[in-house]
Amino acid sequence: MLTPIARPTSQRILVADDDPVVRLLVTSILKSGGYTPVVVEDGREAYRVLRSDSDFKAAIFDMMMPHLEGVDIIRHMRTERRLMRIPVMLITSERDLKLMAESFAAGATIFLPKPFTTGQLQLMLRMLLDKSDGADARPRRVENSPCQTRAELRRA
């Protein structure tokens, strides 16, 4: 059973992933937390949504998507004042430390390698949403988790 990830709200979170299983998992967890996921299947769709609407509490992108990669969307977001406040989690099957560092340099808030457990995703979502609320979401490591945040990478 999924547990709520944060205070129930009606706020929207943009989810972009070309993997239907990941989209379903993320959507299910967000809905259980009272959030409204806006789900797209590739980077180009995510970019179009962001260009027309910046009212998102957070965003979750797959690193490698057709047409436009997650890190490229983040770079675009960080150049626009109306988008730069949106915290972003990158999800990827890549485990390259250089890629992780590039993601944080581009402006990613959280980097979550696949495969991940539901619990790991819920924890990272809580941290992402705390960041959106302006809270000081201290990075915490899930036991035996490949999850990384900027602070964890700096300590490594």
Span 80-138, pLDDT tens digits: 999 989 999 999 887 777 888 888 888 999 988 888 888 888 898 888 888 776 544 33
The domains found in the chain, sorted by start residue, are 12-155 (3.40.50.2300)
Please give the structure tokens belonging to residue 64.
Answer: 């490698």
Span 78-96, pLDDT tens digits: 999 999 899 999 998 877 7
Total-model pTM: 0.77
Which residues, other chains included, contact 126 with Cβ-Cβ below 8 Å and sequence gap of 6+?
A: 5, 6, 137
